[in-house]
């Protein structure tokens, strides 16, 4: 035998109330009296004189009739229009990304608290038998609570969701929720967020059962969205710091950007940034040395704090070793030879061994069977990694549609006049992002996963006019700088929130985040320890043993997260989801009738015990 609603068995505890009534009854004081004759007569007189005498005489009967009516009512399964959910199960996606830290919630609290409050309302309105799953989106999609009908457990899960300074994994969470829909057709996905269109892309279809509960009320925010450093070409030892600050508000904003090295304020600039526009800041003319902490602070009156500070460590030493695996490439060899602080060498594809990996490896029209940890540029070759594959016949007469103008690799490039003869449709994993796209698919991909950082050019360089264009050496320079992150004249140890950091280590390392919380990680066979709890901005400390201590910085640097403009609808592909409030629908309330009946039964017992209601 099974129970559809085993929680109802807890009502059996009400028998304790009956026992209590018995005990209370026994607590009547015993009094011996000469005769109860006159007392009985007095009770009768009092009852007879009462204006509600008849009612009182039959009170027990009325209570019993009422109890019966309530039971009948319960059997009729009454429904009421109450606030409730549409389906029998619900996946609630709680956005705890960086933008949800904006302090424009109710009573000046963060948006995340508003989101939790709205999710708590959803839990409160759950119907009997309805189940809910809670997923958080900050940094990575995490199932905070698998499907359950227990409200207390769900409330507990809500309280466990912490704020992060990371981007939103709404796309990943939506894909995961779609998997749930296959096994639960009567399920609804509810996103409680301040937006997320940028992450979703065209993911949603018209048939997706998605609800959107918006939070947030203001767009008042300015944030540092780009940050870089390089050594001055003119003066050795001098550094140049670049930053971009964007005003996402519809009102102009005055900002003060201060540059600090090791806590010492060196320069500051005050600017007015127009609404919805971006302004660059360059700080030059000061000496810097490796491992100094460079920090930019943005002072302005806005709602989100985590994008007002960026940090990184100055790196002015060493040079980048570049290994070109090619049958021979005039353009590549010449340009690599011209790049400062780059030591390039070439080998034939047949000579390549994975053990050669020291710095950056460029595969020109050749891909090895496998690659280990390292930095790679694949030119007209498919990386031997899971998720990458080329399909179909070569596509001819394709044109370049657009390219990413913000990525460090494609920044400052003008690819508008690029002409290429053919390309092939390439499949790539989620962690790779297209930097340039043609009508036939991605032309340029960039990605970083664990200890592999790579760039892919999906066309034959020599069947295009790119090497003859000005943008090509700029691209190669950017590519070497981006791939060789530890090369000179750059920021080292600077990561984005939510990014997995590969830490060189010989033995167990202990990582402490800016809030003082610690984790330990073991290095793998490549002597790399991977750490992915980078959900908060700030300086992380890595301690290996007792004597070796390193630090790395984590920054937000995300225009998507800094743009806190609240959305009232969610648009993704053909799907347009309007803001949803928790809806009212018919809901069975027979349990209330039964509960009321049980209470009535207790009352009837009380009346019976008192006998005379005087």
Partner 1 sequence: MTETTTKSLLSPEFLKRLDRLELETRRILGGVIKGDRRSKKKGVSIDFADYRHYVRGDDLRFIDWNIYGRLDRLFIKIFHEEQDLQCHLLLDTSKSMRFGQPGKLEYARQIAAGIAYVGLTGSDKIGISCFREEASGALPAARGRHNVRRMLAFLEGLEADGRTSLHAAAREFTQRVKGRSVVVVVSDFLDPAGFEPALRYLIRETLDVFVIHVLAPQEIRPEITGHVEMHDMETDHKLELTITPRLRDTYMRNVEAFCRKIKDYCVRYGMSYTFAPTDLPIEELLLKRLREDGLIKG
Q: Which is nearer to partner 1, 22 or 39 (CB)?
A: 39
Q: Which is nearer to partner 1, 579 or 614 (CB)?
A: 614
Q: Which one, of 537, 531, 526, lies nearest residue 501 by Cα?
A: 531
Q: How many Cα atoms within 13 Å fall on the side-chain side of residue 330?
A: 3
Q: Which is nearer to partner 1, 2 or 35 (CB)?
A: 35
State the minimum distance, in angstroms, from the CB of residue 25 to partner 1: 8
DSSP three-state, residue 175: helix
State the minimum distance, in angstroms, from the CB of residue 185 to partner 1: 60
DSSP three-state, residue 336: helix
CB atoms within 10 A of CB 354: 13
Residue 133, both tokens: 């799953």
Q: How many Cα atoms within 13 Å fall on the side-chain side of residue 69?
A: 7
State the minimum distance, in angstroms, from the CB of residue 31 to partner 1: 5
Instruction: Sort 12 into a burial class: Cβ within 10 Å, 0-12 / 13-18 / 19+.
Output: exposed
Q: Which is nearer to partner 1, 233 or 608 (CB)?
A: 608
Binding site for partner 1 (CB under 8 A): 27-43, 45-46, 609-612, 614
Name, in order, each residue with C-beta under 8 angstroms of 169's C-beta and a sequence gap of 6 or more: 137, 138, 139, 140, 141, 199, 498
Q: Which is nearer to partner 1, 420 or 605 (CB)?
A: 605
Q: Which residue has the tokens 């009346």?
A: 607
Spatial distance between the Cα atoms of 302 and 304, rounded to a whole number of angstroms:
6
Among positive and negative, which fits the CA dihedral 340, 342, 343, 345?
Answer: negative
State the minimum distance, in angstroms, from the CB of residue 14 to partner 1: 23
Q: Tell me the β-bridge partners of 432.
A: 447
State the minimum distance, in angstroms, from the CB of residue 50 to partner 1: 10
The 8-class DSSP code of residue 165 comes to S
Q: How many residues does the chain have?
A: 614
State the minimum distance, in angstroms, from the CB of residue 606 to partner 1: 11
State the minimum distance, in angstroms, from the CB of residue 15 to partner 1: 23
DSSP three-state, residue 588: strand
State the minimum distance, in angstroms, from the CB of residue 52 to partner 1: 14
Q: Which one, of 189, 159, 158, lies nearest residue 174 by Cα?
A: 189
State the minimum distance, in angstroms, from the CB of residue 65 to partner 1: 24
Q: Which is nearer to partner 1, 31 or 525 (CB)?
A: 31
State the minimum distance, in angstroms, from the CB of residue 132 to partner 1: 48
Residue 103 near residue 303 (C-beta atoms within 8 A): yes
Spatial distance between the Cα atoms of 400 and 442, rounded to a whole number of angstroms:
9
Spatial distance between the Cα atoms of 143 and 176, rounded to a whole number of angstroms:
10
Residue 181 near residue 548 (C-beta atoms within 8 A): no
Residue 50, both tokens: 């009462």
Q: Which is nearer to partner 1, 30 or 182 (CB)?
A: 30
Q: Which is nearer to partner 1, 41 or 272 (CB)?
A: 41
Q: How many Cα atoms within 13 Å fall on the side-chain side of residue 549?
A: 6
Q: Which is nearer to partner 1, 37 or 152 (CB)?
A: 37
Q: Which is nearer to partner 1, 88 or 607 (CB)?
A: 607
Among positive and negative, which fits the CA dihedral 398, 399, 404, 410?
Answer: positive
State the minimum distance, in angstroms, from the CB of residue 48 to partner 1: 10
Spatial distance between the Cα atoms of 529 and 519, rounded to a whole number of angstroms:
11
State the minimum distance, in angstroms, from the CB of residue 51 to partner 1: 14
Q: Which is nearer to partner 1, 39 or 62 (CB)?
A: 39
Q: Which is nearer to partner 1, 28 or 182 (CB)?
A: 28
């Amino acid at each position: 035998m099974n129970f559809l609603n085993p929680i109802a068995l807890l009502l059996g505890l009400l028998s304790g109330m009956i026992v209590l009534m018995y005990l209370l009854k026994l607590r009547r004081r015993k009094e011996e009296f000469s005769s109860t004759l006159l007392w009985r007569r007095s009770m009768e007189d009092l009852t007879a004189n009462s204006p509600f005498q008849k009612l009182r005489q039959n009170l027990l009967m009325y209570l019993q009739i009422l109890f019966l009516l309530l039971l009948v009512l319960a059997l009729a399964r009454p429904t009421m229009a109450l606030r409730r959910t549409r389906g029998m199960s619900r996946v609630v996606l709680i956005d705890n990304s960086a933008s949800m830290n904006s302090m424009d919630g109710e009573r000046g609290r963060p948006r995340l608290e508003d989101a939790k409050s709205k999710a708590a309302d959803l839990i409160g309105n759950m119907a009997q038998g309805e189940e809910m799953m809670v997923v958080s989106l900050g940094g990575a999609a995490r199932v905070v609570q698998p499907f359950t009908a227990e409200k207390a457990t769900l409330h507990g899960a809500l309280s466990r969701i912490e704020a992060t300074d990371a981007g939103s994994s709404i796309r990943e969470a939506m894909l995961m929720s779609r998997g749930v829909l296959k096994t639960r057709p009567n399920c609804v996905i509810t996103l409680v967020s301040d937006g997320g269109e940028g992450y979703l892309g065209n993911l949603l279809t018209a048939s997706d059962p998605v609800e959107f509960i918006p939070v947030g009320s203001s767009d008042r925010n300015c944030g540092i969205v780009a940050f870089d450093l390089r050594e001055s070409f003119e003066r050795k030892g001098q550094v140049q710091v670049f930053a971009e600050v964007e005003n996402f508000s519809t009102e102009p904003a005055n900002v003060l950007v201060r540059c600090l090295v090791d806590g010492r304020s060196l320069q500051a600039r005050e600017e007015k940034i127009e609404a919805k526009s971006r302004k660059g800041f360059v700080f030059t003319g000061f000496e810097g040395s490796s491992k100094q902490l460079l920090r930019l602070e943005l002072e302005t009156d806005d709602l989100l704090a985590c994008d007002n500070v960026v940090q990184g460590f100055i790196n002015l030493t060493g040079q980048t070793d570049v290994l070109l695996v090619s049958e021979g490439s005039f353009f590549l060899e010449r340009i690599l030879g011209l790049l400062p602080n780059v030591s390039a060498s070439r080998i034939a594809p047949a000579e390549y061994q994975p053990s050669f990996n020291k710095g950056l490896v460029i595969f020109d029209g050749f891909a090895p069977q496998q690659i280990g940890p390292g930095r790679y540029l694949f030119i007209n070759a498919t990386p031997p990694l899971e998720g990458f594959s080329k399909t179909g016949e070569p596509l001819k007469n394709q044109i370049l549609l657009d390219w990413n103008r913000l990525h460090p690799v494609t920044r400052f490039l003008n690819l508008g006049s690029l002409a290429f003869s053919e390309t092939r449709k390439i499949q790539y994993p989620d962690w790779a992002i297209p930097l340039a796209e043609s009508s036939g698919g991605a032309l340029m991909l960039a990605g970083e996963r664990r200890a592999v950082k790579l760039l892919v050019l999906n066309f034959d360089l020599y069947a295009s006019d790119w090497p003859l264009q000005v943008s090509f050496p700029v691209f190669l320079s950017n590519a070497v700088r981006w791939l060789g992150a530890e090369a000179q004249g750059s920021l080292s140890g600077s990561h984005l929130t939510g990014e997995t950091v590969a830490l060189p280590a010989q033995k167990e390392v202990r990582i402490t985040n800016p809030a003082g919380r610690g984790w330990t990680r073991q290095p793998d066979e490549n002597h790399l320890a991977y750490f992915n709890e980078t959900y908060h901005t700030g300086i992380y400390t890595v301690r290996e043993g007792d004597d070796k201590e390193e630090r790395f910085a984590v920054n937000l640097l995300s225009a998507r997260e800094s743009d806190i403009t609240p959305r009232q609808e969610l648009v993704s592909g053909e799907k347009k989801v309007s803001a949803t409030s928790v809806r009212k629908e018919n809901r069975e309330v027979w349990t209330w009738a039964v509960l009321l009946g049980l209470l009535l039964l207790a009352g009837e017992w009380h009346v019976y015990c008192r006998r005379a209601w005087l």
